[in-house]
Amino acid sequence: MTLMKSLMGAAAAVALTAGAALAEPALIFDLGGKFDKSFNEAAHNGAQRWANETGGKYREIELQSEAQREQALRRFAEAGANPIITMGFAMADPLSTVAPDYPDTKFVVVDVTWLDAPNLRQVGFAEHEGSYLVGMMAAMASESGTVGFIGGMDVPLIRHFGCGYAQGAKAVNPDVNVIANMTGTTPAAWNDPVKGSELTKAQISQGADVIYAAAGGTGVGVLQTAADEGILSIGVDSNQNHLHPGKVLTSMLKRVDVAVYEAMKAGDGVETGVFVMGLADDGVGVAMDENNKELVSVRMSDAVDEARKGIINGDINVVSYYENDSCPALQF
């Protein structure tokens, strides 16, 4: 028994020191899981890219419940993983308690920009810039002069998406009519594809022929109904063009993979602070691939390229909804 105990103790000590010596990065996926075709899968792709390029190894865990958040953070920190990369705004609270306990460990969080800790790298995205570009494409692809926006839960982040979209659409066609709907005011709004479908049908009956969905699982219903009814839709976060080839105009990409890749590449020397990734550093963008090649005209892609340059060098100012909690181009 004592032998067993000391053996196990030794093994644990070896494991601990091994972890500390190597300082492997660790990646904590959010509840959606590693293969969610969206947010977490993008993180997985970024980590894989780093592993393939450098031959490095990383630790990972897929959270199964809320209670595991702090537990996983502490376990990785105790094991000497550095940096520890976490996904999603729900990590904000556990991080604010755990990060101060491990001052020598660097933590990275995606989609959180409001915490205050010296060893924390917070990565946000300029979603309004990417939404501006897809808004331009929507207005150019629309024949009816009416485009739609369907958000998930009515929170500032989603208004932020819609606001950029409306500004982009109005930049192409000042007379364009932008219809904006939110699915709901509770978290159930992220997973209500039935309501997403009904909203899509309602917007179609009001003349919309391109609809941008920024609504998580609800967006699945939006894209489906748009494809069924023969109009165009725009996906969000990861490239959703393949869901209905030839029916999805484009997707507004949020390059979570780039954020994860860069954090892993920098290793334990990763810079801390608040970083907002925009068009300039490819943090957001529009998806072009063989699935939407037929839908995007040369004129459209030229205009998007030009606007991208304009936004990067400051010629075009896309107003952020956060600036004064209102949108110049759209009334919510």
CB of 284 to another protein, least distance (A): 22
From 96-104, 139-147, 213-221, 303-311, span contacting another protein (CB under 8 A): 213-221
**Nearest distance from residue 240's CB to another protein, in Å?**
11
- Considering only the stretches 67-75, 216-224, 300-308, 319-327, report the one whose residues sit in contact with another protein under the rule CB under 8 A: 216-224
Q: State yes or no: residue 201 binds another protein (CB under 8 A).
A: yes
Q: What is the rounded (10 degree) CA torsion for 158, 114, 124, 258?
A: -140
Residues recorded for the chain: 332
Of the candidates 306, 319, 307, 286, the residue with the CA atom closest to the CA atom of residue 166: 319
Least spacing, CB of residue 298 vs another protein, in Å: 31
Q: What angle do CA 178, 135, 309 make, to 5 degrees?
A: 145
7 lies in the site for another protein, by CB under 8 A = no
Structure tokens at 274: 């608040």
Closest CB 40 distance from another protein, rounded Å: 7
How deeply is 229 buried, as exposed, middle or buried, from its count of CB atoms within 10 A (0-12, 13-18, 19+)? Answer: middle
Within a 10 A sphere around the Cβ of 53, how many other Cβ atoms? 11
**Cβ distance to another protein smaller for residue 38 or 82:** 38
Count H helices, E strands: the chain?
11, 12
Neighbours of 17 (CB within 10 A): 11
In angstroms, rounded to a whole number, what is the distance separating the alpha carbons of residues 173 and 311?
18
**Does residue 159 interact with another protein by CB under 8 A?**
no
Nearest distance in Å: CB 38, another protein: 7
Q: x/- contact string, 165-184, with another protein (CB under 8 A)? A: ---------------xxx-x
Residue 224 touches another protein, criterion: CB under 8 A: yes
Interaction of residue 221 with another protein, rule CB under 8 A:
yes
Among 10, 14, 18, 188, binds another protein (CB under 8 A): 188
List binders of another protein among 20-59 (CB under 8 A).
32-33, 35-38, 40-41
Measured distance CA(181)–CA(192) in Å, rounded: 14
Q: Which of 47, 134, 137, 199 binds another protein (CB under 8 A)?
A: 199
Kindly report the backbone phi and psi dihedral angles of residue 145, in degrees, each rounded to the nearest multiple of 5, phi listed first: 80, 15
Of 181 and 291, the one with the shorter C-beta distance to another protein is: 181
Cβ-proximal residues to 241 (8 Å cutoff; 6+ apart), any chain = 235, 248, 250, 251, 287, 289, 291, 292
Q: Given the rule CB under 8 A, which residues bind another protein?
A: 32-33, 35-38, 40-41, 180-182, 184-185, 188-189, 191-195, 197-199, 201-202, 205, 217-218, 220-221, 224, 243, 332
